[in-house]
Amino acid sequence: MQSCSDDIADEFDSLSLNSTTTTASTTVDIKHSSSSGSEVTWAPPSIATSSSKPHAPSGDPCWQAIRRAQASSDGGALALHELRFLRRLGSGDIGSVYLVELKCAGGCMFAAKVMDKKELVSRYKEGRARIEREILEMLDHPFLPTLYATLDSPRWSCLLTEFCPGGDLHVLRQRQPDKRFHEAAVRFYASEVIVALEYLHMMGIIYRDLKPENVLVRSDGHIMLTDFDLSLKNDNSTSRAQVVSGQNPACKNSSTYPSSDYPTEPPPFGESSCIIPNCIVPAVSCFHPIRRRRKKPRHRRALEIVAEPVDVRSMSFVGTHEYLAPEIVSGEGHGNAVDWWTLGIFIFEMLYGTTPFKGVDNELTLANIVARALEFPKEPWVPGAAKDLITQLLVKEPSRRMGATMGATAIKHHAFFNGVNWALLRCAAPPIVPRPCNDVVSPQGCTEISIEYY
């Protein structure tokens, strides 16, 4: 039996980006032309050397390893031959991902997404590769990837990001009893996905590819969204904060909530949302003080700040069939509401072990998404709050979908997330903590390999 080093060498010699993905889902990327909107176009990617963010935390051992490697390399830029490829982690539409470490600074594992530039150009995918790189360079969030370096050769382009030893939620779900997660685990993972999507929307990015395969589990059990080559990024999008009236705090803690009691989207204030009457003098007589009646306590509606863009639009047909939103299937054009649709599909699959509109083939699946009503299986039992959340997320009309106008703010207030401390998600105990990296990565049979970097 050949060692894994020989396998990796062979893969580099015959790397084809047309290879089948490691998951059962199929990703589509077809663009519709329309006079009402179009996909943002991009120039081909340029050659770049390794780089690190100026705000990189000094306590991160991986950043320290990168800096040591840069200091010892010629010109301070990393090259592909300075990476030790341990094994292949998976493949996607525009590249393959490998587990690597630095030869001169071992101990830290990285995930290296390697892309064949010739294949990217021949398949008109260079724009997607550039978008993913630009997005990764922007991100700075605990539930999103860290880009440690970009490495280039005349043929290969590589993105060096962090390695998540816990794998993805698709594989993790398959290992659970009945191939589904318990309610508490779904609440945990969905909460972290929501704040990651909220951050992306604030950055003017529509993710468009949420599915369990793209939600990785870090070594501490928290999640990381990955794979941004289908994302839509608009530098001209303006994220204007607005102050809106939140839901009644007294109602938020109720254990059950009829669907009709939910305001679909609390109405925002007008442009002049806050007026401070500091120039108004109370008309109260100094000689005849008025006895004021004690007012009955009433619940005040909390103020929320929403800063998610709603002006980014696209006509592209992209995503995974079972997760596509109706407006994408029908070609009407879409905005960031598609991410909240995919959140509903994501939660449904995590709870039930299947997606709600899956057909015998992709064509029937797309027809079900557009025309078939949402139905919940009789088994397993799922609490009413979870069903209500899914129902409001899987509204086929995007303007009426939960999150369409208030973004993550409306979703966070749903009764399904009662008890979630959104400000301290990183302190919450994960339902599953992966084994240490040394147990996941076995060095047996993996030796230094020789690869042609041309």
Domains of the chain plus CATH, in order, are: 4-25+42-163+435-440 (3.30.200.20), 169-240+306-427 (1.10.510.10)
Q: What is the model's pLDDT at position 300?
A: 53
**pLDDT tens, position by position, 408-448:** 999 999 999 999 999 999 999 999 998 775 544 443 334 33
Please tell me the distance from the alpha carbon of residue 78 to that of residue 66, in angstroms, as a whole number.
9
Residue 200 pLDDT level (bands cut at 50, 70, 90): very high
Amino acid (one-letter) located at 45: P
- Listed range (80-89, 115-124, 195-204, 432-441) with the worst mean pLDDT: 432-441
DSSP three-state, residue 84: strand
Q: What is the model's pLDDT at position 286?
A: 39
Choosing from 116, 152, 209, 227, the catalytic residue is 209
- Listed range (220-229, 306-315, 354-363, 411-420) with the worst mean pLDDT: 306-315
Residue 303 pLDDT level (bands cut at 50, 70, 90): low
**pLDDT tens, position by position, 242-289:** 555 554 433 343 334 444 333 444 433 333 333 333 333 344 443 445
Whether 209 is catalytic is yes
Please tell me the distance from the alpha carbon of residue 323 to that of residue 349, in angstroms, as a whole number.
10
**Residue scoring higher pLDDT (77 or 89):** 89
Q: Which long-range contacts (CB under 8 A, 24 or more apart) does 253-262 make?
A: 253/418, 254/415, 254/418, 255/415, 255/418, 256/384, 256/385, 256/415, 257/384, 257/385, 257/388, 257/415, 259/388, 259/391, 259/392, 262/388, 262/392, 262/414
29: left (phi over 0), alpha (psi -120 to 50) or beta: beta
- Listed range (83-87, 226-230, 233-237) with the worst mean pLDDT: 233-237
The closest alpha carbon to 44, from 134, 112, 111, 113, belongs to 134
Please tell me the distance from the alpha carbon of residue 32 to that of residue 314, in angstroms, as a whole number.
9
DSSP three-state, residue 211: coil
At 83, give phi and psi (nearest 5°).
Answer: -100, 140
Q: What is the model's pLDDT at position 27?
A: 57
The closest alpha carbon to 106, from 450, 453, 446, belongs to 446
- Residue labelled with tokens 């950043």: 63
Q: Is the pLDDT of residue 191 over 80?
A: yes
Q: How many Cβ atoms are within 10 Å of 56's Cβ, its own excluded?
A: 16
Q: What is the mean pLDDT of residues 223-239?
A: 81
Please tell me the distance from the alpha carbon of residue 264 to that of residue 15, in angstroms, as a whole number.
49
Residue-by-residue DSSP string for 233-263: E-TT-----EEEE---HHHHT-S---GGGS-
At 258, give phi and psi (nearest 5°).
Answer: -60, 145
Q: Average model confidence (pLDDT) for the chain?
A: 75
Beta bridge partners of 160: 112, 149
Please tell me the distance from the alpha carbon of residue 182 to that of residue 381, in angstroms, as a whole number.
11
Q: What is the model's pLDDT at position 333?
A: 81
Residue 239 pLDDT level (bands cut at 50, 70, 90): low
**pLDDT tens, position by position, 305-332:** 565 654 556 656 556 889 999 998 888 8
Distance of CA 75 to the CA centre of its chain: 35
**Residue scoring higher pLDDT (439 or 214):** 214
Residue 64 pLDDT level (bands cut at 50, 70, 90): confident
Give residues with Cβ within 8 angstroms of 7, minimum separation 6: 88
Length of the chain measured in residues: 454
Q: How far is CA 3 from CA 13, 86, 102, 448, in A?
A: 16, 10, 20, 11
